[in-house]
């Protein structure tokens, strides 16, 4: 176990972490952040889990961006400029930013430091926790042959539906090996419907462009700095200023979709290529999105919705049949691709809980379209709801 390293590349992470990191360095270089591990599934962790987890984190300190990886980013992500790639060249994980405690079968974890540095921890940490959990609890998965055939089966369903799909499953994958196997199958068999993966390292291995834009923490930080009412708007404004229309998908549910649509004015509705849906009823959301575009005399068929909320072939069939000829779609499928191995998948998250935009720490919250996906301190959630009249 000790010689085994779960994360073997600095790029074994979701693409949106790098795009956000670039924006943070440019706009908020001195801001700090705190993150916390949330065990939604109440999983019981085996004895000494914390020690083995720390060993894996310590190994991450030696990861460096290789020349070949830099060339891959230059070629496939031209909007990540050379000043950012120079930063990434020098970047190394600092395990001192992560505190882990185990009490009985519970794991507590806090991450704290400059936002521009700590932003990269969340996804690989979750991937490590997931892989170690299955390894140390000696859970037996189905065979690799069966995993490949299940992936092909799903792919055939998506091909029949003629829907575009992406793979978003790094954070809760069964293991790196399974993730790689699934991606190999998707890359070899998925043309022209498979759009790529959010995992930058595996995108490099399989010569695909990585996909993704921004996560909820981008908007959550803006709420801490500028207030809940205008967080969505300023977050979009700043994003556009950095990327000039590239990576143009807006995230719709940090403070519920009705609040997002209030901020998604005519200018943004025109310049952003579409919206990501990550919580709540997808059909209701689609109707609201179409209504919103029509209000500004924008033809919805020129826009798209990226659906990414806990998808499987049944849900995709249901959503895509409703959206057909109304608005374009793409489906980001996570755990259902990378952790469909005959075992229950883990329900874990790591979320930003506090931000220090300037002089003092401010609790941050996310008010999803459904209560279960909301995060943050109860008092702050109440305060945000009051301010936003939710």
Write down the pLDDT at residue 373.
81
Q: What is d(CA 340, CA 144) in angstroms, rounded to the nearest whole number? A: 11
Tokens read off for 360: 């003092």
Helix, strand or coil, per DSSP, at residue 37: strand
| Domains, the chain | 15-139+347-388 (3.20.140.10), 144-338 (3.20.140.10)
- Across-strand partners of 110? 36, 99
Q: What is d(CA 317, CA 161) in angstroms, rounded to the nearest whole number? A: 7
Write down the pLDDT at residue 377.
93
Helix (H) or strand (E) holding 147: helix 144-161
Q: What is d(CA 327, CA 320) in angstroms, rounded to the nearest whole number? A: 10
- The residues of the chain scoring below 70 in pLDDT are 1-4
Q: What is the pLDDT of residues 310-331, one digit of tens each?
A: 999 999 999 999 999 999 999 9
Instruction: Name the packing angle between helices 122-136 and 49-60 (round to 10°).
Output: 140
Tokens read off for 60: 């991450």
Write down the pLDDT at residue 5.
84
Q: What is the pLDDT of residues 133-169, one digit of tens each?
A: 999 999 999 999 999 999 999 999 999 999 999 999 9
Write down the pLDDT at residue 372.
83
CA angle 268–271–273, rounded 5-degree value: 105
Write down the pLDDT at residue 4.
66
Q: Which residues make Cβ contacts (< 8 Å) with residue 378, sequence separation at least 6?
A: none
Question: What is the chain's alpha carbon radius of gyration, rounded to the nearest angstrom?
Answer: 20
Helix, strand or coil, per DSSP, at residue 374: coil
Q: What is the pLDDT of residues 87-97, one digit of tens each?
A: 999 999 999 99
Write down the pLDDT at residue 164.
98
Helix, strand or coil, per DSSP, at residue 219: helix
Q: What is d(CA 103, CA 120) in angstroms, rounded to the nearest whole number? A: 26
């Amino acid at each position: 176990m000790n010689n085994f390293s779960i994360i073997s590349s600095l790029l074994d992470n979701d693409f949106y972490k790098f795009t956000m990191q670039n924006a943070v360095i440019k706009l908020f270089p001195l801001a700090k952040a705190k993150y916390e591990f949330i065990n939604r599934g109440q999983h019981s962790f085996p004895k000494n889990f914390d020690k083995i987890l720390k060993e894996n984190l310590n190994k991450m300190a030696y990861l460096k961006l290789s020349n070949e990886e830099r060339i891959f980013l230059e070629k496939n992500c031209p909007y990540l400029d050379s000043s950012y790639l120079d930063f990434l060249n020098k970047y190394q994980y600092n395990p001192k930013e992560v505190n882990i405690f185990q009490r009985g079968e519970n794991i507590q974890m806090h991450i704290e430091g400059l936002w521009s540095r700590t932003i990269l921890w969340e996804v690989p940490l979750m991937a490590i926790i997931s892989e170690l959990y299955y390894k140390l609890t000696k859970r037996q998965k189905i065979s690799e042959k069966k995993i490949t055939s299940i992936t092909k089966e799903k792919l055939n369903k998506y091909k029949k539906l003629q829907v575009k799909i992406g793979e978003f499953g790094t954070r809760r994958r069964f293991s790196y090996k399974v993730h790689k196997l699934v991606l190999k199958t998707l890359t070899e068999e998925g043309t022209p419907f498979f759009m790529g993966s959010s995992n930058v390292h595996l995108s490099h291995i399989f010569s695909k462009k990585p996909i993704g834009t921004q996560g909820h923490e981008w908007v959550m930080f803006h709420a801490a700095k500028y207030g809940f009412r205008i967080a969505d708007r300023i977050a979009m404004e700043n994003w556009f200023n950095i990327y000039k229309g590239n990576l143009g998908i807006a995230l719709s549910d940090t403070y519920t979709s009705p609040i997002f649509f209030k901020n998604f004015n005519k200018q943004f509705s025109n310049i952003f290529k579409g919206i990501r849906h990550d919580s709540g009823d997808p059909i209701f959301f689609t109707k609201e999105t179409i209504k919103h575009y029509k209000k500004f005399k924008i033809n919805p068929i020129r826009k798209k919705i990226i659906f990414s909320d806990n998808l499987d072939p049944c849900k995709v069939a249901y959503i895509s049949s409703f959206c057909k000829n109304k608005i374009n779609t793409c489906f980001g499928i996570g755990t259902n691709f990378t952790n469909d191995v005959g075992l229950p998948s883990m329900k874990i998250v790591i979320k930003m809980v506090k931000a220090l935009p300037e002089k003092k720490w401010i609790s941050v919250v996310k008010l999803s379209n459904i209560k279960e996906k909301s995060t943050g301190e109860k008092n702050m959630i109440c305060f945000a709801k009051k301010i936003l009249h939710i």
